[in-house]
Amino acid sequence: MNVFVIGIGLIGGSFAIDIKAAFNEAEIYGVDVNEDNLDKALSLGIIKYKSSFDALDKADVVIIAIPVDVTLEILPIILDKIDDNCLVFDVGSTKKKICDRVDGHDKRRNYLAAHPIAGTEFSGPQAAIANLYRGKTNIICEVEKTAFKLQERGMEIFSRLGMRIRYMDPSSHDKHIAYVSHLSHISSFMLGKTVIEKEKNERDIFDMAGSGFASTVRLAKSSPAMWAPIFKHNKENVLETLEEYIANLVRFKELIDSDDFLEIYKEMDGANYIKTILKGIN
């Protein structure tokens, strides 16, 4: 089984490691615009061969793990190049624009739209790790548009990697993921910015920061190259979540300003419900 990984960073590299471990017969080919990343992936043993788009005709599986705006441009080109029996899946954090782009493509049935909810705040092939996907949710969109035999191949991969599957339409995916992922990233990036701006001349101050701060600001380490295109793709949904988040913060600020600490207590008590929700998230 020839597996081509387009974009051999944290996400693509972690797929490469696990697929190689789970499928004896898998040969991993890496394709990346960044030659350094390819060399690193090769020397780390994540890929067996450096490769290119020209060799895609011999792929059995193609995994696209690059910024969503680039996926949008090259997915149709990749579909043009592959064999009729090849499965192509992407792992992007937005699904609507990408599904729309290949709707009606001759090889639409070779494509499976996926979004594994897994990652860390690090990036690049050196950040790739084994078992990143074990126990994680993989959201599959428009499954009925993928050829049955290729669905099976995809599910065999996801199953051996330990993922659980949820099916969803692309619009619902993009709407909900804005709340449970995209908004978290913005809140974290802007928290980091606010503190850095204020404390830039106060180096010692970060001695005062504890694990709580580290936790809330962790996602501010994420790759801007990945995240700017996500916000672009999911603009309307992200704007809506941001508007609501800002309105809640403004209200909280007004409550402090007017010394309504009973109401502040209630706001926090309500948010404590997140305990129930978080059970079951690693």
**If binding is defined by CB under 8 A, does position 144 make contact with a second copy?**
no
Asked if residues 118 and 144 have their Cβ atoms less than 8 Å apart, the reply is no
Task: Report the nearest approach of a second copy to the CB of residue 183 (Å).
Answer: 7
* Closer residue to a second copy (CB): 34 or 184: 184
Task: Report the nearest approach of a second copy to the CB of residue 116 (Å).
Answer: 9
**If binding is defined by CB under 8 A, does position 179 make contact with a second copy?**
yes
**Maximal C-alpha separation, the chain:** 68
Tally the C-alpha atoms within 13 A of residue 211's C-alpha that lie toward its C-beta. 0
Report how many residues bind a second copy under the rule CB under 8 A.
Answer: 95
Task: Report the nearest approach of a second copy to the CB of residue 21 (Å).
Answer: 22
Positions in 33-62 near a second copy (CB under 8 A): none
**If binding is defined by CB under 8 A, does position 252 make contact with a second copy?**
yes
Q: What is the dihedral sign for C-alpha 229, 233, 238, 240?
A: positive
For residue 99 the two structure tokens come to 């599904």
Positions in 112-141 near a second copy (CB under 8 A): 117-121, 136-137, 139
Task: Report the nearest approach of a second copy to the CB of residue 47 (Å).
Answer: 25
Distance CA(128)–CA(40), nearest Å, equals: 11
Cα separation values, 161 from 57, 60, 91, 146, 257, Å: 25, 18, 14, 20, 51
Q: How many other C-beta atoms can be found within 10 angstroms of the C-beta atom of residue 278?
A: 9
Asked if residues 140 and 167 have their Cβ atoms less than 8 Å apart, the reply is yes
The bridge status of strand 137-141 relative to strand 27-31 is unpaired
**If binding is defined by CB under 8 A, does position 147 make contact with a second copy?**
no
* Closer residue to a second copy (CB): 107 or 233: 233
Task: Report the nearest approach of a second copy to the CB of residue 48 (Å).
Answer: 29
CA angle, 96 then 101 then 107, to 5° = 120
Report the residue from 37, 51, 71, 187 that binds a second copy according to the rule CB under 8 A.
187
SS3 225: helix
**If binding is defined by CB under 8 A, does position 183 make contact with a second copy?**
yes
Interaction pattern, residues 206-225, with a second copy; x per rule: CB under 8 A: xxxxxxxxxxxxxxxxx-xx
Q: Which stretch binds a second copy (CB under 8 A): 19-27, 35-43, 105-113, 237-245?
A: 237-245
Task: Report the nearest approach of a second copy to the CB of residue 257 (Å).
Answer: 6
